[in-house]
Structures are given as structure tokens and as C-alpha cells.
Amino acid sequence: MSLVNKWLEQKYLKTYPDIIRALNGEILCDWEIKNATVVDVFTLTTFRANVWTKGAFIVLVQPLDSLSCKDLFRHSMRAEKEYDAEGMYILPGYVDTHMHIESVEVTPSEFGWAAAKTGTTTVFTDCHEAVNVGGIEAFLYMLEDSEKSPIRQFMLAPSCVPAAEGLELAGAEWYAEDIRKIYAIDNPRIVGTAEVMDYLGIVTGDKRMRDILAVTRELGGYAQGHAHDMFERALASLRLQGIQGNHEPIDPESVLAAMRAGMYIDLSIVSSLGDSSKELKVLAADEHFSKIGSFDKLTFCTDDRNVAALLDGGHINLAVKRFVEAMWPHWKNSNGYRADEKLVCEAIRIATLNAWREYGVTDHAGAIAPGYLADFQLVPDSDVLPDEINETNGLPSVVFVDGEMLAPPARRKPKKQRLLEIEATNTVKLKPITADQLKIAAPKWAGDEVTVRVLDYSENPIINTATEMTLPVVNGYLSLDGHDDLSVIVVFHRHGRSDNVGYGIAKGLSLKDGALATTVAHDGHNLVVVYKPDAINLAVDAVNELINIHGGITYHATNGKVYTKPLPVFGLMSDKPAEEVARAIKSFEEGFRKHNGPNSNPMLAAILSLTVAPHYRVTDLGLIDALKKEIISLFVR
């Protein structure tokens, strides 16, 4: 039995006597939600009903047109409180099967209120961003601060700290014994092992990865995957070692292969790092996928979604909308009458019941039914089944979690001194830099020119290639004068464990002007600065600014304009309210795009060090070949 299922079964059994007494009319129910239209994720239909709750669970779903068995009970049911949901749909609270709260750029407690507004009531989080900076202390901070969240936040033990062993130096290093320590913490919200990003290490027999998965199996935890283009024996290797879900695939071949292997696909279609709407439409239109008989192995996740995008566009509710939009043309033609209702119900099931089942929950969560968690949302009917499918936004009028109606939060609730001290700690452990530290020194054997490897992002903003280019050497340093299409990448180790600095050169980046620096650099989160050949002094200013403000993201334009997002908590999150952080994000993004074009990516520097993304990356150890898992030379002799 999964750890989530054990927690839920125990929770239900403790409440069971009161639930039965409330059903028998011996004690009051807490709520009666009257005249609602139920979205039934079991039959993919809707019907009108009254819904009764007691404690954290639903007691009765009473269809308005159903036959009655009142004669079997002595007492009538009554409730302390009523809510008239006439004109509203009642549907289960949405579940995010994989996300990083650090990428929301606010703390866990603040994130909970933002997500609740969109109908999300449960998230499964991986705090490997914070742990890569602060180790076990960071995990404990995320766990404790999330106690103040109005929504349920399950946590998974980060598996890849750093993401790929030997390719970067993060703020911590975790092995199987560290995972065991996390499971030993007495907290039922710790339920598994987070995305195993070093998927090549699993297949090729990396000891660290195989030991971590062995501990996960031993302790009954859920094992979350992260893999690109896995088929046949490679895919079987992941499944045989316990990987149960994967949020990376979006292409039809990979999705179908994983589903046929019994793996869940957590569709990450609303990430701030990359909108997958086009890919989703390709997936929906694929001949095999559009004729698939069951979506039971699909769920939705957000992965990396900042709070500005969340508040403006939505969370899992937006994923539901995007899925319906993509599937609509194909579903309507093949499913006949009332295809709109069935499709929307299917999308809601993917976002609710399927998500709980992925984590091993066999009963009691993800539906509007007796004995199921009273996690639900009331959404105006025009937002669930609109006349025009593209008009839906699905924002709830009311949200319940554990049977309690959520009220607007009292902002800035007092935090324990320990949490405040952690939030105030400067994790950017660097002294102010000078321009000489940003120059790329040529090797001693070089003459007046030298050949270098250049990372080419011209075709894809994430997956690059490497080309060779000969550049002049002036006074012992590479000169990029006249090469306005190139950018310099410098990565400073910022965790105080070394004085490592890595260098790289790229072309095809959306940076057209000035310098961009960040402490949000997946996944080791060292300090990365990217600058154009004529902006080295701006790069110095950008790096030194991040040191002074304890981390964040800053862009310094050639004309003197500066746009900054302070993120002082581990250099990843703000300690300010969600709405204030959202405004800062928008201001930063607007400023960056004003100088670099409307389609430029203000988060481009965040993924230049991602050691588990194809093909070449730059870390504090230098230039790496991510597929071969080795450090390579910037220079070609």
C-alpha cells in the first residue's frame, strides 16, 4: 500500500464513526451543499444533487431526482451550515502531480493561497531547488512553512542533489542514506521520492541512482520519473526499478510507449519555462493518440509555473482548459452526442481521480461521492460547459479543503523565528567580482586565435547543438568583438564550497542586449550571468547586485535601464505576498522583452546549467556533455 493511501485510509477510519452517525441523522453534518450539479468522474456525466459533509469527508451525494430509502432511517439528516449552489457545478479539487514551489517564486505558505483561488486543493511537490542550495535545512524549512498552507502539500524527497553527479557542485550532495533520513521524519505528508532526473544513470547502472530507488521501494514510497525519449529496454529499465510516472514526454510516441508500459504521464502543458500548447495539439491530433481507448494513465502537472502566470492564467484549471481545447476537434467527431460534456468530465477526471490513483490511492479521494475527501470546488456553470469551449476559465466561486470552506487569508501571518532567520540568510556566498573574472582566458598553447565550441540555440531554446568557431586571442583572452550574435556564459559557484567558475559561449539566445544574471539556475542554482560582447561591465554590475540583494534575477540593459526580481529565500523565492511578487515578475519580464524582443525568454539563463537536458550545458565545473555525462573542453586543440 502506498504511503499516501495509508495516510488517507487512517484519516478515513478515524472519522468513520462520525460519518456513519451523521448519515443516520444522529448528529449534525457540517455542510449541506444544495442544488449543485455534480461532475461525476466515474461515469463522465453530470447530475443535480445535494452534497452532505462531515469532517474531512463527504457523507452523502443525494440526487434531486433519485429514489428515496428514508423509511430505513429513524432520523432525518441535518447540517449546521448550508450553501445554495444553484447554477454551479461541484467538482473535486484539482491535483498537481508534480511541481516545484520554488519556481512559483513565493514561499510554500503563500503559494497555497494563490493556488486555492484556481481550484487546486492538493499538490505533490519536489523541493530539490531549495535542497540543492540548503540541504536538509532547506527541506525542513519547506516542510514546516507548508504547514501554514490552506491546501494540502505532499512532499517527495529530492532524488538528484545535484541533478547529475560529478557535473556541477551544488550546495549539497544527497545519496541513499539521505533519502532514508527524509522518510524517517515523522510526517505523513512525506510520501515518495521526487523526479529522478538522472534517468541515464538509472539505465546505465549508476550506483547512486539505483541505491536511491532501492531505498524508495523498501520504504514503500512513490518513485517519480523524469526522462526523455525512453523506449523498449530503456523504458523497461525505468519501470523495473520502480519509476511510476513521468512528466517530460509530450510527443505521441513517447507518451504512448510510457502508457503501454504502465507508466503515468503527467502532462506538463502550462509550465512558465515553456508553453506546450502547440505540442499538445500535435499530440491530440496524432492518429494513434486521438483514438486511444482510455486516458486513465494521464494526469496534469505544472512543474515550473511562476505566481504571475498562476494568478493571471491559472494553475491546473488552465491545464484542463488546454486539454479540452486541444482534444475538442477530434473528440467531437468521434464521440457523438454530448461530446462536450463527456470531454470536460474526462479532463476533470484526469486532473482529479487519475492524479490520486497515480499515487496509489484506491479509494476516498478525487471524486464527489460518499466516503471521499471533502475537497471540492463550486464553479459557475458557464465556466464548466460553455457554449464556446474556448471561453472557459474554470475559476471557482468557492473552494473546500478537508470539509472546510476557505476564506481569504489574513496576510503576513507571524512566522516562527527559525523560519524568519532562514529566509533572511544570504545564500549567495560570493565576494564582489571584477571584469577580469568574466573574461575567458585562452589556453597557453593558443596563438593569435583559437577554436572554441559554441552552444547553438538557434533551432531550440532548450535542446542545443555544438558548433566550432575560431576566435581571436587578445592579451591572453578570447575576443568576441564584432560577433554580436554570440553571448558569453559565466557560472560562479555560489554555495561557499569552492571558488569554481565555468565558462561557455552561445549563439541563438534571445538575449540581444546587455547582461542577464540569475541565482535561479536549474538545478544546482549557482550564479549564472550571460552577457553580450560589449556588456562586460554591465555583467559585473548585475552579478554584484545579486550578491547584495541575496539572490534573484536581474537584467541590465545597454541604455542603463535595470530590471530586478529580488528572491532572497535561498536565492529562489521571495518572502513577499503573492500579488506583490506577481507585479515584480511582470515588471521584470516586460522590461526584458522591451530590449530583447516580444518573444524573448527572460528565464533563458535559468536553464543554461541544467545538466539533465540535452545536449551541452555550462556549470561551475565548465562545459559539459550532458548525454555522455562528462566535462569537455571549451577549446578545440
Say how far apart CA 546 and CA 525 lie, in whole Å. 13
Q: How many CA atoms lie within 13 A of 458 on its CB side?
A: 8
Q: Are 91 and 67 in contact (CB under 8 A)?
A: no
Three-state SS string over 298-339 comes to EEEECECCCHHHHHHHCCHHHHHHHHHHHHHHHHHHHHCCCH
Regions of the chain where pLDDT drops below 70:
67-71, 273-278, 286-293, 331-339, 382-393, 409-412
* E strand or H helix that includes residue 582: helix 578-596
550 alpha-carbon distance from chain centroid: 23
Least Cα distance to 170 among 483, 495, 574 occurs for: 495
Instruction: Give pLDDT, residue 338.
Output: 44
Distance CA 223, CA 238 (A): 10
Domains annotated on the chain, with CATH: 1-92+363-406 (2.30.40.10), 94-351 (3.20.20.140), 424-636 (no CATH)
The bridge status of strand 45-54 relative to strand 88-92 is unpaired
Q: In angstroms, rounded to a whole number, what is the distance separating the alpha carbons of residues 303 and 246?
A: 11
Alpha carbon distance 169, 624 (integer Å)? 13
| pTM over 0.85, yes/no | yes
- pLDDT value, residue 407: 79
Distances, alpha carbon 54 to alpha carbons 16, 371, 401, in Å:
10, 10, 12
Name the residue type at position 442. A
Neighbouring residues of 530: CB distance < 8 A, sequence distance ≥ 6: 487, 488, 489, 490, 506, 509, 511, 515, 516, 517, 604, 605, 608
The model's pLDDT over 114-138, given as tens digits with 9 standing for 90+, comes to 999 999 999 999 999 999 999 999 9
pLDDT, one tens digit per residue, over 566-623 is 999 999 999 999 999 999 999 999 999 999 999 898 888 999 999 988 889 999 999 9
pLDDT of residue 479: 95
Instruction: Locate 107 and state its grid cell.
Output: 514561499
Match 462520525 to its residue by C-alpha cell. 18
155-175 confidence digits (pLDDT tens) = 999 998 998 889 999 999 999
- pLDDT for 533: 95
Asked, as a colleague might, if the bond just before 228 is cis with ω within 30 of 0, I would say no
Q: Is 398 helix (H, G, I), strand (E, B) or coil?
A: strand
Check residue 373 and report its DSSP letter. Answer: B
